């Protein structure tokens, strides 16, 4: 097989890149380990920055997002039994949209297939060859047969556990990493959201997040121990802990309902530099992971492939490689801004086992400052809705 851009991974990064390239008249093939059903059902992120929504709109894949997405103009910080709204739109002129990542993936898969795009699901044994030459290839197995895809460029969009990053020799990459002494237990519940906006709660029992996916689906998270098995969290214990962590002094109530999905996700920060090696470009979670507290992961993946599609379009059109040369550095500026914000939000809201009473007083002072100071709240809001220029 032959294509211009070989893409590994049909997550938001790989699918959107394939679609953006198609709009530029560039051919691509997407190779995905899992089934179509699996990638379309995987419950993950749900907060889209305004810039992400605008890009999907310009790319012609935001019809359902506009109809079903929930536009939010603020978020709530909750601590000490009190609620404090951060009015995102008043402070920045911008908003966020709640729309499940699996819905973005569904819309992109449909758009690719309707346009005759090649997305191969359930391929395994992906191996990259010759990425340091101008004739890279991807070997894989599909339908029980060994295959080879020849391309000009490879986009490694295969997430944190993918194989593309390993094609970069260790001497040619530098890794920056941080582990956190907690994980998130994520729950999808069949119950109407109890709050109109996302609630971030810092409590003495640890962090909790109340979010939503639709008028009838609530998404909730609890900070838990990093090695906690999901079996340790029967539904009754989850609701009890959520009730305790989200409780307020003003009579607010959390409605409970059947839990449809639950899973524990470890938390880490990770960046590989540079994001390019020869003809291999690592985009999205394949190149960087942020703790989910700042809701940045999917938005960063989208930003990476937006810049990459523009750079590849310029290269194919004129032969000029300067945008490809600067691609990694351009993306890393945004990645590190998001790392800083996500780490800061995580420290603001979570309890660490080694937090001493002094640290807890500092945390409370920061939360009080955000609740009282417009300048502090504006900084949070500007980062949360997504910086336009980084
Ligand atoms: C519980 C949870 C909550 C999150 N919440 C948020 C949030 O609120 N906001 C936000 O912005 N982000 C959030 N994120 C992060 C977000 O989901 C990721 O950043 C996003 O999925 C990155 O997209 P991606 O396309 O780079 O990678 P992925 O979505 O991981 O896609 C990679 C694809 O590659 C495939 N693949 C892997 N290995 C191979 C292989 N060897 N061969 C072929 N294909 C392969 C995978 O099956 C997958 O389909 C959250 C993540 C989790 C886990």
pLDDT tens-digit readout, 128-172? 999 999 999 999 999 999 999 999 999 999 999 999 999 999 999
Beta bridge partners of 266: 183
Q: Tell me which of 13, 297, 335, 385 to substitute to probe ligand 1's pocket, judged by most ligand atoms within 8 Å of the beta carbon.
A: 297
pLDDT at 389 over 80: no
Residue with tokens 């002129």, as numbered in its chain = 93
If you ran DSSP here, which 8-state letter would residue 2 be given? B
Task: Locate the ligand 1 atom nearest the alpha carbon of residue 289 and give its number.
Answer: 19
Confidence of residue 188 (pLDDT cuts 50, 70, 90): very high
The C-alpha atoms of residue 117 and residue 316 are separated, in whole angstroms, by 19
Q: Which of 19, 22, 72, 350 is catalytic?
A: 72
Nearest-CA residue for atom 36 of ligand 1: 158
Task: Locate the ligand 1 atom nearest the alpha carbon of residue 49 and give its number.
Answer: 11
Q: How many CB atoms lie within 10 A of CB 51?
A: 17
pLDDT for 58: 98
Q: Which of 19, 22, 296, 350 is catalytic?
A: 296
Confidence of residue 269 (pLDDT cuts 50, 70, 90): very high
pLDDT for 43: 85
7-28 tens-digit pLDDT: 999 999 999 999 999 999 999 9
Distance 109 CA to ligand 1 centre (A): 15
Tell the burial category of 344 from Cβ atoms under 10 Å away from its Cβ (0-12, 13-18, 19+).
middle
The C-alpha atoms of residue 268 and residue 77 are separated, in whole angstroms, by 23
Tell the burial category of 135 from Cβ atoms under 10 Å away from its Cβ (0-12, 13-18, 19+).
exposed
Q: Which of 99, 180, 221, 384 is catalytic?
A: 384
Distance 297 CA to ligand 1 centre (A): 8
43-92 tens-digit pLDDT: 889 999 999 999 999 999 999 999 999 999 999 999 999 999 999 999 99
Tokens of 348: 């603001």
pLDDT for 225: 95
The C-alpha atoms of residue 323 and residue 334 are separated, in whole angstroms, by 16
With a Cβ cut-off of 6 Å, ligand 1 is lined by 8-14, 31-34, 39, 44-47, 101, 126, 157-159, 161-163, 186, 265, 284-285, 292, 295-299, 301
**Is 200 designated active site?**
yes
**Is 72 designated active site?**
yes
Distance 20 CA to ligand 1 centre (A): 19
Cα 70-285-18 angle, rounded to 5 deg: 75
Distance 16 CA to ligand 1 centre (A): 13
- Inter-CA distances, 208 with 247, 258, 290, 294, Å: 10, 18, 18, 13
pLDDT for 388: 79
**Is 274 designated active site?**
no
Beta bridge partners of 261: 188
Backbone angles phi, psi at 357, to 5 degrees: -55, -35
The C-alpha atoms of residue 202 and residue 350 are separated, in whole angstroms, by 6
Distance 34 CA to ligand 1 centre (A): 12
Q: State which H helix or E strand residue 137 sits in.
A: strand 137-142
Backbone angles phi, psi at 52, to 5 degrees: -65, -45
pLDDT at 390 over 90: no
Distance 45 CA to ligand 1 centre (A): 9
Over its C-alpha atoms, the chain yields an Rg (Å, rounded) of 21
**Is 384 designated active site?**
yes
Q: Give the whole-number percent of the chain exceeding pLDDT 70.
A: 100
pLDDT for 5: 98
């Amino acid at each position: 097989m032959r294509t211009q851009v070989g893409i590994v991974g049909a997550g938001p990064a790989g699918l959107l890149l394939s679609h953006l390239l198609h709009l530029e008249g560039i051919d691509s093939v997407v190779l995905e380990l899992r089934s179509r059903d699996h990638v379309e059902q995987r419950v993950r992120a749900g907060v889209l920055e305004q810039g992400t929504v605008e890009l999907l709109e310009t790319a012609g894949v935001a019809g359902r997002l506009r109809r079903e997405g929930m536009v939010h103009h603020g978020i709530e910080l909750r601590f000490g039994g009190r609620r404090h709204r951060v009015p995102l739109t008043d402070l920045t002129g911008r908003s966020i949209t709640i729309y499940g990542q699996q819905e973005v993936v569904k819309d992109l898969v449909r758009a690719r297939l309707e346009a005759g795009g090649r997305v191969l699901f359930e391929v395994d044994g992906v191996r990259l060859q010759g990425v340091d030459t101008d004739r890279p290839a991807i070997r894989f197995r599909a339908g029980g047969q060994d295959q080879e895809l020849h391309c000009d460029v490879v986009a490694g969009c295969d997430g944190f556990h993918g194989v593309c990053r390993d094609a970069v020799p260790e001497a040619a990459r530098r890794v920056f990493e941080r582990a956190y002494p907690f994980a998130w237990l994520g729950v999808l519940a069949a119950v109407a959201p109890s709050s109109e906006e996302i609630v971030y709660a810092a409590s003495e029992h640890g962090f909790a997040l109340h979010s939503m996916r639709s008028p009838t689906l609530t998404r909730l998270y609890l900070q838990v121990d990093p090695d906690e098995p999901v079996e340790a969290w029967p539904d009754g214990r989850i609701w009890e802990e959520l009730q305790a962590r989200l409780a307020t002094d003003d009579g607010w109530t959390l409605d409970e309902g059947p839990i449809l999905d639950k899973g524990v996700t470890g938390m880490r920060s990770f960046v590989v530099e540079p994001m390019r090696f020869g003809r291999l470009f690592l985009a999205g979670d394949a190149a960087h992971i942020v703790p989910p507290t700042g809701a940045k992961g999917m938005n960063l993946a989208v930003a990476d492939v937006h810049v990459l599609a523009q750079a590849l379009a310029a290269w194919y059109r004129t032969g000029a490689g300067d945008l490809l040369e600067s691609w990694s550095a351009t993306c890393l500026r945004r990645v590190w801004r998001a790392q800083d914000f996500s780490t800061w939000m995580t420290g603001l809201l979570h309890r660490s086992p080694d937090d001493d009473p002094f640290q807890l007083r500092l945390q409370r002072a920061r939360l009080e400052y955000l609740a009282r100071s417009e300048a502090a709240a504006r900084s949070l809001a500007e980062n949360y809705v997504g910086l336009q220029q980084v």
